[in-house]
Structure 1
Amino acid sequence: MITIIAAAGENNELGKDNDLVWHLPHDFKRFKQLTTGHFIIMGRKTFESFPKPLPNRTHVIITRNKDYTPKVPEGREQDVIVVHSLDAALLKASADKQPFVIGGGEIYKQSIEASDKIELTRVHSTFDADTFFPEIDQSQWEKISEVRHDKDEKHSFAFTYETWVRK
């Protein structure tokens, strides 16, 4: 089962200048809880937005650059795999029963047809962004759960965890 995991604003905004446009600590905790121990598939820019590889996950980086060598701390090389297509990424991640596609926008667009589930954090505001999540076609997807989190002292925006499965 291939799962897309993302956080997007009301107009499907993902981020700007290769960064998130909000800070939601509970969403980070949920992302960590769901993806730890799994393969995470991402584009090069998403990988490079991390200060270092995320712990306890195998990173599958998609890039068109055949000469790309990611910067990886010594001893973490086995946690990073570079491939040159979504198909190659899915093949590498097939060792995991639950790989996650974690972005960015272009990788989400490419992978939505191959995915079985979407874990979407819908951030209840609009944002200035340059990267967007694809529209969820409700003729192909069904929302099976939603859990709202109101704005509070740690979260500047209300948000809802939405789980979608392919019909």
Structure 2
Amino acid sequence: MKTQLVGMIWAEAAEGVIGHEGGMPWHLPEDLAYFKKMTADCPVIMGRKTWESLPEQFRPLPKRTNVVISSDAGRAASLRSEGALTASSLKEAVDLAGQKAPKAHMTWIMGGGRIYAEAMEKDLADLASITRIDLQTAGDTYAPQLGEGWAGVVKVPEQGWKTAENGTRYRFETYRREGRP
């Protein structure tokens, strides 16, 4: 039973690109700082490939309950030995996150593409926090389309773009599923 809000959080470049060949095709420290701030003290849910894409020194992500989805029982044991909780489905991961961190105000889904798509398909997410990056790049993993039923809570107008230290333009946008708290 879901007891806290569930959000999805990602950064995306032009055309919805969120990943390429197992990683992010950009380096944007401002987005990493935003992610850290938003997810601190909250459970994070990710697929096994997303877990493996994290540098080893950051696994598990500190100050967060890390839940990794894996249907491979042998791999799940290895993930647990690395400090992650494991679940065999997204629904199980959401329930587990709520049980292990009941005082957290939010559970965050942090990827990858198939996990976001499933969250949308099964109507599991209440909120989407998106970093839009003004960048054309190759990609093989894409963000879900929010579509009908999502309303911008904080949608920065065009003049709201910020410029990162490396010169890349970006902005943060937040959307809430209509009818949700």
Segments ≥4 residues shifted beyond 6 Å: none
**Does residue 1:151 correspond to 2:151, yes or no?**
no
Partner deviation per Cα, 1:57-92 (whole Å, 9 max, x = no partner): 11100012121112755xxx3xx2011101110110
Shift of 1:127: 1.4
- The corresponding residue for 1:9 is 13
Given that residues 129 and 175 in structure 2 are in contact (C-alpha distance below 8 angstroms), is that contact kept between their aligned partners in structure 1? yes
Given that residues 23 and 156 in structure 1 are in contact (C-alpha distance below 8 angstroms), is that contact kept between their aligned partners in structure 2? no
Percent of residue pairs bearing the same amino acid type: 29
Aligned CA RMSD, in angstroms, stands at 1.6
Give the distance between the partners of 1:10 and 1:17, measured in 2 at CA. 17
1:107 to 103, 115, 122: 115
Amino acid at match of 1:133: A
Q: TM-score, normalised by structure 2?
A: 0.83
Give the distance between the partners of 1:72 and 1:157, measured in 2 at CA. 38
Q: TM-score, normalised by structure 1?
A: 0.89
Unaligned residue ranges in structure 2 (runs of 5+): none
Give the distance between the partners of 2:95 and 2:61, measured in 1 at CA. 21
Given that residues 7 and 106 in structure 2 are in contact (C-alpha distance below 8 angstroms), is that contact kept between their aligned partners in structure 1? yes
Give the distance between the partners of 1:121 and 1:136, measured in 2 at CA. 14
Higher helix fraction: Structure 1 or Structure 2?
A: 2
- The corresponding residue for 1:90 is 94
Figure out how many residues of one structure are paired with residues of the other and give that number. Answer: 160
Unaligned residue ranges in structure 1 (runs of 5+): none
Amino acid at match of 1:83: A
SS at match of 1:20: coil
